[in-house]
Amino acid sequence: MLPRALPLATLLATLQLTGCAAFRSYDSELQQTNQQLAAGNVDAALTLLESNNKGEDKDLLYYFEKGELLRSKGDLKGSQDAWRAADSVVFQWEEAVKLDTEKYLSQFGSYLVNDKVRRYEGYDYEKVMLTTQMALNLLANNDFDGARTEIRKTHEREAVIAELRDKEYLKREEDAEKQGVQTQFKDLQGYPVASLDAPEVVNLKNSYQSAFSHYLSGFVYEALGEKGLAAPGYRMAAELRPNTPLLEQALLDLDKNAATPSESDVLIVVQSGLAPARDSVRIPLPLPIDGNLVITPLSFPVMKDDTSTVRFSEVQLNDKALALTPLNSTSAMSRRALRDDMPGIILRTSVRAITRGVAQKKMNEVNPMAGLVMGIASAVVEGADTRTWRTLPDETQVARVRLAQGEHHLNVGGRQVNVKIDRPYQVVSLRVVGSQVFSGGPAVELPAPVQPQPQAIALK
């Protein structure tokens, strides 16, 4: 009886060690949450988020998602509180990286732990967009000084990320050579290579610097009278998005006269859609296991675009068409992040599979039942990491106009939004998901939401 009981105990222990993260389908959870958001049921979306995160130790993603949902609801204070909690987690990550980069890289690059059961630290573009979204919250309340603080934090964070990734690239090259794994994502038969090789992906300078973030920094510095700091922001935005007239004009206009006392320089920000999801696909890969080349199915992440929101390129301002300029695509940034990460993912997944295969073969020779149990446990926990910030807006577009101070109205996606302009510089930020338009702050008056269709909420 004991020989049969031992493998079962081994299986149970293995599954307990992996934790609930091994079985969590983050994509499925957030699909339900985002369906409620797109239908205008923000409270229901928040209820789902809470039901899927019942433990006291909330992770980074919880605060990411909660902040964006509360922002959609118009609760800017609650949104900022959630994002401050997220920012605190990211700050701890920054300090760990700066304190001992080599130690951090060794821990993160461990071959023993499946990516999806690691502590979620956020992708680089999420860390940068966090402080950008926090700045937008503050600007909705005309707090330009507070936004300036978040913008400085954004620039400092970019510098930490840039230094880390340079070191990570060198270490990964050394490890790949040492382990003898030279497979690239283009070698994975059946993998959607074209999605990572698209021009809008490969033409990005990196996965984390956003033309929108830098343009917004230029606008904030200009509004505060710090033109010497505004110019670098505009220049970096133009470098990240070359041949964009809006960005080139911002630099030219810095030395021109400001708006008259009865006018305002208004930046209209329209963020639409939802960030793409991550899914897991299995690709057969030949691996050298104990002297033999064994075809082994391994799991790798792929991106799935959000289709909840129809794309548009203009809004109506006081019944006149106003063109929007796209400055940020979360879809492109997330694909670039995956493209850059794939060599490391392939290396870790392959080495882990080889190690597991050798161990299982030896166990089969001693105890076939235990070997079978190990194989079952491996199959259960095997899978790519599908966690990512799903409520993050997909596309950010802007328009910049001079407006007479007073009441104005915008038509966004067929819905009219009333706007009160009463400051020399002002930011009007709108969020579009599905047929819904969301905003917050005293300057924007939204119409009654589209009557949502009743949807069942599956609570755990």
171-217 tens-digit pLDDT: 888 887 777 777 788 888 889 999 999 999 999 999 999 999 999 99
Domain limits, the chain: 26-203+264-439
pLDDT at 18: 44
pLDDT at 185: 80
Q: Which residues of the chain have pLDDT under 50?
A: 1-19, 454, 456-460
The 3-state secondary structure of 147-186, one letter per residue: HHHHHHHHHHHHHHHHHHHHHHHHHHHHHHHHHCCCCCHH
